[in-house]
Amino acid sequence: MYRIFQQKVLSFFLLLLIGCTVPLFVLAQDKKVVIARIDYAHPAQIMEGFGASDAWTCQFAGLWPDSQKNKIADLLFSTSIDKFGNPTGIGLNFWRFSIGGGSGEQAEASGIRDEWRRQASFLKLNGQYDENAMPGQIWFMNAAKARGVKKFLGFVNSPHVNFTLNHKAFSSDGQCNLDFRKLDGFTADLVNSIKIIKAKTGIELDYLSPVNEPQWKWNEGNQEGCPYVNLQIVDVVKHLSKSLTQASLKTKIQIADAGQLNYLTNHPDSAKSRQIDYFFNPGASGYLGYLNNLDKSISGHSYFTTSPEQKAVDIRKTLKVEIAKHEGLRFWMSEYCVLGDDSLKGEGRDLGMTTALFIAKLIHHDLNYANATSWQWWLGVSMGDYKDGLVYIDKSKTNGRVFDSKLLWGFGNYSRFISEGSTRVPVITRDVKDFYISSFLKKDKITTVAVNNSEQDMQLELSGMDKKQKEVTLYTTSSLYNLQKSVCSARYIILPAKSITTIIGKSK
């Protein structure tokens, strides 16, 4: 035992001698060497950023005392650093605002049992508008803006109950619940919501997503939701486009928040799938690409497509091929939390590294195999006992504790350092089990995220950086550290076991 201790201490001091100031973890001598090369010759997608949504919890958390809600906002949005150079937040640059369907005002009559899953709306049941009806969510919008968030999107789970067939914010029979006789009223309400948000925050939404996971039945009363087939989505988008144009709003329509990724490509449900071709092929009956205020992006959710791993990779490769058929079309992964994945056992929230490493691998796959230009988590703030939040809080409408998570900080290894406008460049390496690496170039800076999900420390030899560069800056998330800054020799980059590391250097 004493001999092993001597070896580990010797390894640590050797790193100091070669110029690596690292967090004080003990490094094993038998670490694996991984050789990787940045391939500048084949640039891929240009990144738009990373985000999360305010759904459900922020309507209450935004009413908490200033000290508590500012703590939450700092964790999500801040780009500041502490006195040691460590980030104080993960610097999201994209925030999704949930435009409610009126179930909050209906209360128990809404049929949605959990009041934390009901949503408020500016439009009241009596047809009048209350601009102060969503103060919690508005607070977080302003907090995000104050901390430098640049992109804002409004998304709709259900049309307001004033425009639904059953006067509920979920379907009674698993069929589309929008009363199409009131479609103009629905789109006018979305325009009014955009105007109110701008009046309260100065923010004119960059994007509006009018349907969300349209493939699901939404008939259980667990939350707001509305099914659509593709033909119905086309009708909604055309009317919404006209309403936005008449109101002289710059907001772009973003579609289609598909319930899982293969609904965008080759899912067998023909009325609800193949959405890339349906909406963006000029020869298709549902072609929408001629609309000036339709954003040339299509979004999907990574639910139920994450395991087994080869299947997950194949789904994303197919998606990449289909996107590439349409010039200029971009893919967003616009929502995910851990749901229905057998590879991540155990119910309940996880504040530790297991979920963080799982999600880091998923982000890698979505960026590298599907060419996602934006990656957005589901709940920015959660009070539940689920793996659905970046920040967790007590289930209280007035005050409580705030918990960060390793998932938050592991997500920050991407969101905090891969800025809008960065170009993903491939990284060539041998197939190394439980290891995932991706690089992003902006001007003369190369940012690399390496995920070591193995039980063994790794030494990374990364070529493709400026050969004159002697040192690189690392930010490490592990069981012990949250984006911990260190400076290391560019030749000897140490990746601790079960860690996510961001490497900042100069490009060649």
Q: Range of 132's domain?
A: 49-420
Q: What is the pLDDT of residue 21?
A: 57
Instruction: Give the pLDDT confidence of 182-194 residue by residue, as tens digits.
Output: 999 999 999 999 9
Question: How much of the chain is in helix, strand and coil states, percent to nearest 5?
Answer: 30, 25, 45
Peptide bond into 256 cis (omega under 30): yes
- pLDDT in the model for residue 30: 67
Co-location of 118 and 208 in the same domain:
yes
d(CA 150, CA 137): 17
337 and 412 belong to one structural domain: yes
Q: Regarding predicted confidence, which is higher, 342 or 267?
A: 267
Give residues with Cβ within 8 angstroms of 52, minimum separation 6. 76, 92, 94, 95, 96, 376, 377, 378, 379, 380, 390
Domain boundary among 370, 387, 420: 420
Q: pLDDT confidence of 15, banded at 50, 70, 90?
A: very low
My answer on whether 395 and 447 are in the same domain is no
- Identify whether 287 is part of a domain: yes
First to last CA, the chain: 44
For residue 6, tell me if it sits in a domain.
no
Q: Which residue has 């390894």 as its token pair? A: 11
Helix (H) or strand (E) holding 188: helix 183-201
Q: Enter the tokens of residue 493.
A: 């980059």
pLDDT at 7 (0 to 100): 41
Examine residue 4 and state whether it is found in any structural domain, yes or no. Answer: no
Domains identified in the chain, total number: 2
Domain's final residue, options 420, 439, 470: 420
Residues in contact with 132: Cβ distance below 8 Å, sequence separation at least 6, in sequence order: none
Same domain, 39 and 73: no
Same domain flag for 396 and 473: no
pTM of the predicted structure, to 2 decimals: 0.94
Contact between 214 and 279 (Cβ < 8 Å) = no
CA–CA separation, 137 and 99 (whole Å): 10
Q: Is the pLDDT of residue 5 over 60?
A: no
pLDDT tens per residue, range 36-54: 999 999 999 999 999 999 9
Do 204 and 293 share a domain, yes or no? Answer: yes
> Is 10 contained in some domain?
no
Residues 456 and 381 in one domain: no
Q: Which of 312, 304, 296, 158 is nearest to 236 (CA)?
A: 158
Question: How large is the average pLDDT for residues 368-387?
Answer: 97
